[in-house]
Structure 1
Amino acid sequence: MAERLLRVRTRQKSKKPEFNFHDSHKKKKLGTSWRKPRGLHNKLRQHIAAKGRVVQPGFGSPKAVRGYHPSGMAEIRVNNVAELAAAQGCAVRIASAVGMKKRLDIQAKAAEMGLKILNPKGGA
């Protein structure tokens, strides 16, 4: 069932518009990440069609596969070797604050356990 829902999610996301911060294309200092339009005369808040789409619940993924990696596995973030025990059946993402020495230990242990690492580095 998860495979079907992943295909549904892919199809939904291909139709989803790009939700950018209103008028972010006009000012360099404004980022594109979504912010709710709040102005009294804001055309996007008033749902004027030509101004773009507003984030709404219908654009979300199916709940069963929400947050899954495109490979079809749930992701888990790991900071040390001991946290790998909870990662059975999941894809592992090593936290960015982990140094190279501990990262290589985590990668070696994950390879031994047969886990997939999403952000591998170094020799292992």
Structure 2
Amino acid sequence: MSTEDKGIASGETPKETVESVPEKRAKRKPALPEEKLRLLKLRLLISRHRPHFTRMNIWQFKRLEDVWRSPRHFLDNKIRLQRKGFPPMVKVGYRGPRAVRGLHPSGFEEVLVSSVKDLLGLDPAKHAIRISAKVGKKKRGEIIKKAEELGFRILNAGG
């Protein structure tokens, strides 16, 4: 096909039809020792095999919510007695490694921020910020701007 067949006069360059896609910033990674990286991966593997803990009698009553409650009462509570065929009970053995408890899956420590002043005492190498849901649009923009200047990773920047 020639350029005239496409509806483009000779000598003109065709205009791009594809809109420019905004560049995505690379997400910051924390500087962690090899041991912590290994433990983060181990925590992920453990949590994949961790069962879903269900409340006793959730299958009988619609009014109950599916949130774990420790089975303390009654002589014949099958979950407390750990009977075969009933859901598993929460135990210490299901926990993850102590060194990485409470860390975000990326390896940063999560910090809830509700004002620009909250950013001052934090270290961008080990803290990631989550902006509070109670913060309005104007103040949220100010926090994001200041956090990007300081080099923080924002967990809920919104796009």
* Corresponding residue of 1:67: 102
| Alignment partner, residue 148 of structure 2 | 111
State the Cα distance separating 1:49 from its structure 2 match.
Answer: 2.6
Would you identify which runs of 4 or more consecutive aligned residues in structure 1 move more than 4 Å? none
Looking at structure 2, the residues matched to 68 and 49 of structure 1 have their Cα atoms a distance apart, in angstroms, of 34
* CA distance in 1: counterparts of 2:84 and 2:149, whole angstroms: 54
* Higher Cα radius of gyration: 2
Q: Of 25, 36, 44, which residue of structure 2 is paired with 1:2?
A: 36
What CA distance in whole angstroms lies between the structure 1 residues aligned with 2:84 and 2:128?
40
Q: Which has the higher helix share?
A: 1
Aligned residue among 84, 91, 103 for 1:56: 91
Q: TM-score, structure 2 length as denominator?
A: 0.72
Q: In percent, how many aligned pairs have the same letter?
A: 39
Say what the alpha-carbon RMSD is for the aligned residues: 1.4
- The yes-or-no answer on 1:92 pairing with 2:129 is yes
Selected match of 2:118 from 78, 83, 98: 83
- For residues 3-42 of structure 1, the aligned pairs below 5 Å read 3-40=37-74, 41-42=76-77
Gaps of 5+ in 2: 1-34
Rounded Cα–Cα distance in structure 1 between residues aligned with 2:97 and 2:130: 22
Q: What letter matches 2:69 in structure 1?
A: R
Amino acid paired to 2:130: R
Separation in 2, partners of 1:28, 1:95: 33
